[in-house]
Amino acid sequence: MAVEAGHQVLNLDCLTYAGNLASLASVAKHPAYQFAQVDITDADAVNARVKNYRPDAVMHLAAESHVDRSIDGPGQFIQTNVIGTYNLLQSSLNHWRSLPPEDADRFRFLHVSTDEVYGSLGAEGKFTETTSYDPHSPYSATKASSDHLARAWHDTYGLPVLVTNCSNNYGPYQFPEKLIPVVILKCLRGESIPVYGKGENIRDWLYVDDHCRALMAVANHGKPGETYNIGGNNERTNLQLVQFLCVLMDELSPKTIPNTSPRPGSGRGVGGEGAIALASSHSSLITFVTDRPGHDLRYAIDATKIERELNWRPQEDFESGFRKTVQWYLDNQSWWQSIPSNEWAGR
């Protein structure tokens, strides 16, 4: 999206298990796009890239982000989300201080974060930009720490920092450990679809392209030192969401099972010549599993501020965004089939 808007882009990524260069095929050869395999926990590598590229803005989206993995191995989340953020802030600060006044006035550091830093809501209310932090998982705790660092670099050093906190993202190219692709791919493989607890946890869902449009609006027009919440206005329980995805899969990729009863008058036994195939709902694959520790009940974003100040609103509603997403995974099976299933199937 930044390339389409006429910007030059340098993409830094260390290509962990979730990195996939195939996702960048459409822009890989664009003259305005460059890629560098860099780990943001490597301060020297980050410094070198920022110093040589001399960016007008840094958009910090790099993070370890899967809650289950943060429970199993919190150390990597501390390294990437805390130490990595510190490295980017320091490199950006040094670069910003070297700029002539006019360029320094235009420079922005956009720190992209999550609504999970706010903790859990009850049945009523929504997160605002002034909601107190109350993280409950190693993932959300490390993101909360990175948010505080970003704001401190603004308040202490004057670095023109902007912070965004978004609700759950979904859409094309999402790594298959996340809930949406897990459900779609489990449906395609005829495997059990795991739902934590009773599926009562509520999330607000934001289509990835809407999120990108919001980030561009904040980077171009946001006020340094401010925080902007970004939400999709799409609250659903996990069970409601999984059931809806099953309905879409029933429509777009029907599942059939053999009818074990003989056709009337056929004189055949089970599985014989008279057997026919029947359509079956993918919802029959839903299985409830033990809830994960510290599982927040409800997230909901109040996006009034970004709507009012930057004139941003999500373009996709609940049905349109998820229909596009399911269709993308059906149309791009070679993309997800290239990912080893042991990286995601058990999550």
Q: pTM for the complete prediction?
A: 0.90
- Given the residues 139, 228, 299, 329, select the one marked as catalytic: 139
- Given the residues 39, 115, 204, 307, select the one marked as catalytic: 115
CA 229 to chain centre: 15
Mean pLDDT of 246-274: 66
Question: Residue 265 above 80 pLDDT?
Answer: no
Determine the pLDDT at residue 280: 83
CA 109 to chain centre: 20
Report the topology of domain 3-249+283-343: Rossmann fold (3.40.50)
**Least confident residue range of 31-40, 103-112, 189-198, 272-281:** 272-281
Question: Residue 277 above 70 pLDDT?
Answer: no
Question: Residue 113 above 80 pLDDT?
Answer: yes
Domain ranges of the chain: 3-249+283-343
Element (H, E) at 181: helix 179-189
Active site residue 207: no
Determine the pLDDT at residue 78: 98
Determine the pLDDT at residue 257: 59
228 CB-near residues (< 8 Å, 6+ apart): 129, 162, 163, 164, 165, 214, 218, 222, 305, 306, 309, 310
pLDDT in tens, 307-322: 999 999 999 999 999 9
pLDDT in tens, 185-218: 999 999 999 999 999 999 999 999 999 999 999 9
Determine the pLDDT at residue 339: 82
Active site residue 115: yes
With 0-12 / 13-18 / 19 or more C-beta atoms within 10 angstroms meaning exposed / middle / buried, residue 258 is: exposed
Question: Residue 268 above 50 pLDDT?
Answer: no
**Residue 170 forms beta bridges with which residues?**
207
E strands along 14-139, which residues?
33-37, 57-60, 108-114
Determine the pLDDT at residue 326: 98
pLDDT in tens, 64-109: 999 999 999 999 999 999 999 999 999 999 999 999 999 999 999 9
- Given the residues 64, 116, 147, 235, select the one marked as catalytic: 116
